[in-house]
Amino acid sequence: MDDDALLAEQMAYYRAGAAEYDRPYAECEALQELLAAVDELPIAGDVLELACGTGQWTPRLAARARSVTAVDAAAEVLALARARTVSTTVQFFEADLFGWQPPRRYDTVFFAFWLSHVPLTRLPDFWNTVAAALAPGGKAIFVDDGPAAAAFEEVLANQPAPAALRRLDDGSQYRIVKVFRDAQALTDDLTRLGWSVHIRTMAGNFIGIAEPPTSPG
């Protein structure tokens, strides 16, 4: 068979997709920048990690913490996280974060790429849970996608919460919650709930540090 048509189609792909070709490089650069920035944050003491997923961030927390308690709702990701994590100061456990109450208080509550999966209507409860998990002087530290990431999602209309469609390798499709808040909206959300918050945007992502209301609001 002649491969001319295939080669022409290959060239058409690279011409039409020129603007998309850089994405893996750009995403990698943004991730590296984010990882480096997180390594500079005041993560210390006993750390609670919410929605730890496959434990990509857990070892970085463990390197700076006295202990890490890492929670996720999905047994499958926890299994991968446990396999990845060698530190003896890390404990994983399974819990659905919606409705969950922390069993004790921590110096740092950390969550990476989780806040954007919490429906807006559940944010007040979520932040109350975080506040209940923080020891006096403790801080919530979180990273997530900024609004620019919406361009790379299949955003869905008419859902009970802002949502996007995700596809797995086997072709299966799932709706997920995906709320894109910019730094100002997020600051306003938290300020309204009585938190002190500082949000830094960087390369499409943001890093937030927040302290809960000191007295019942």
Give the footprint of a copy of itself on this chain (CB under 8 A): 1-3, 5-7, 9-22, 24-25, 27-28, 31-32, 53-54, 56, 73-77, 79-80, 96, 98, 117, 119, 121-122, 152, 159-161, 163, 166, 168-169, 172, 174-177
CB of 75 to a copy of itself, least distance (A): 7
CB nearer to a copy of itself: give 137 or 160.
Answer: 160
Rg (CA), the chain: 20
CB of 74 to a copy of itself, least distance (A): 4
CB of 51 to a copy of itself, least distance (A): 9
CB of 115 to a copy of itself, least distance (A): 13
Which residues have CB under 8 Å from 51's CB, separation 6+?
71, 72, 73, 97, 111, 112, 113, 114, 117
CB nearer to a copy of itself: give 68 or 197.
Answer: 68
Q: Under the phi-then-psi rule, with left for phi > 0, alpha for psi from -120 to 50, and beta for the rest, what region is 84?
A: alpha
CA distance 75 to 53: 9
CB of 124 to a copy of itself, least distance (A): 14
CB of 213 to a copy of itself, least distance (A): 26
CB nearer to a copy of itself: give 9 or 40.
Answer: 9
Quick one: which of 139, 153, 133 has its CA closest to 190?
Answer: 139
CB nearer to a copy of itself: give 76 or 137.
Answer: 76
CA distance 175 to 163: 6
Quick one: which of 211, 201, 151, 198 has its CA closest to 178?
Answer: 151
CA distance 195 to 213: 5
Q: How far is CA 112 from CA 70, 145, 166, in A?
A: 12, 9, 18
CB nearer to a copy of itself: give 154 or 188.
Answer: 154
CB nearer to a copy of itself: give 173 or 215.
Answer: 173
End-to-end CA distance of the chain: 74
